[in-house]
Amino acid sequence: MTEPRYDVIAIGNAIVDVMAPATDDLIEELQLNRGGMTLVDAERAKELYDAMGPAREISGGSAANTLAGLSALGAQCAFIGQVSNDQLGEVFAHDIRAVGIDFDTAPRQGEPSTARCLIFVTPDAQRTMNTFLGASQFLPAEALDEEAIGGARVLYLEGYLWDPEEPRAAMRRAIEAARNAGREVAFTLSEVFVIDRHGDDFRALIDDGLIDILFANHLELAALTGEDDLEAGIAALKDKVPTLVVTRSSDGAVATRNGERAEVAAEPIDQVVDTTGAGDLFAAGFLYGHVNGEPLQKCLRRGAIAACEIISHYGARTEANLKALMDEKLG
């Protein structure tokens, strides 16, 4: 097998986060779900964007956030995701490339426009999010760079993107390309509602031995296995998935790998500011350790450190020097 070109290549939603300060009166006037996340259509997205004040725009999306964390640690990464040929598509492409991630997916012509999450931040730092999935739902299998997929140690797939039909087909093809090249496939379950809709697909992938690394939080594990008890859920999967990683919020995380088990406590933190992206960055830390052949316990610790950094501030991209932070904590 040839030496991999990438440590991790990921497929996920290509979303631009558009963040702007807002008054409580504006939240009420726009009838927003204060502090929550709402899916919106193109018309509503335009209405909300027009109502925003000066905004900060940065590329986002679950898998892209994970790659940004990996790149900050020094990993070589590439991203596959669909944007449109518009201004926000250019923002996404610029931002993800600027953090050292290769991104070569051709933009889609015409409607719908690039996905965006419109985030209104009130004076109390509450984030009200409105997401338009747009072009990200139309990633075709033809957009895949199968040579790049075969040249990555790990193919990382975002469960959120399993919902639309076109990218689901693309991810199935990507799995085949990775397996044919003898590479590992990692999958993050993303959210319980995704499992409610596609759990049979995920269980079939696991039963067929197509998933090498599975990331889940404790609620997703219960939804996938039908076991409310954590240990029962782990027992149901540990012999089917070579590496299983289960996060438990403030209770830390547990992982199994080829019969070995390790646990880690959550990193101490003075104040949890925003949990957005915590799971994404946990995956980044863990995968960095994994592709570098580190012990299971150390992989988990890297995940916990990365998650702690991300919840200490607003936004799903790191603000501290993540590599220096890990070097300090891990010695």
Task: Of 162, 169, 114, give the one whose Cα is nearest residue 141.
Answer: 169
Q: What letter does residue 314 receive in the DSSP assignment?
A: S
62 to 12, 231, 298: CA distances (angstroms): 7, 27, 23
The answer to whether 213 and 154 have CB atoms below 8 angstroms apart is: yes
* Crossing angle of helices 62-73 and 322-330, rounded to 10°: 60
CB distance 167 to 161 below 8 Å? yes
DSSP H helical ranges for the chain: 24-29, 42-51, 62-73, 87-98, 146-150, 165-180, 192-207, 218-225, 230-237, 278-291, 296-310, 322-330
* Neighbouring-strand partners of residue 149: none
- Taking alpha carbons only, the member of 300, 201, 281 closest to residue 243 is 300
| Per-residue tens of pLDDT for the chain, all 331 residues | 678 899 999 999 999 988 888 899 999 999 998 877 788 999 999 999 999 988 888 888 889 999 999 999 999 999 999 999 999 999 999 999 999 999 999 999 988 999 998 988 888 767 788 989 999 999 999 999 999 999 999 999 999 899 889 999 999 999 999 999 999 999 999 888 889 999 999 999 999 999 999 999 999 999 999 999 999 999 999 999 999 999 988 888 999 999 899 999 877 777 676 566 788 999 999 999 999 999 999 999 999 898 888 776 666 677 778 888 888 888 7
User: What tokens does 263 get?
Assistant: 């646990």
List domains and CATH numbers for the chain.
6-13+61-111+135-330 (3.40.1190.20)
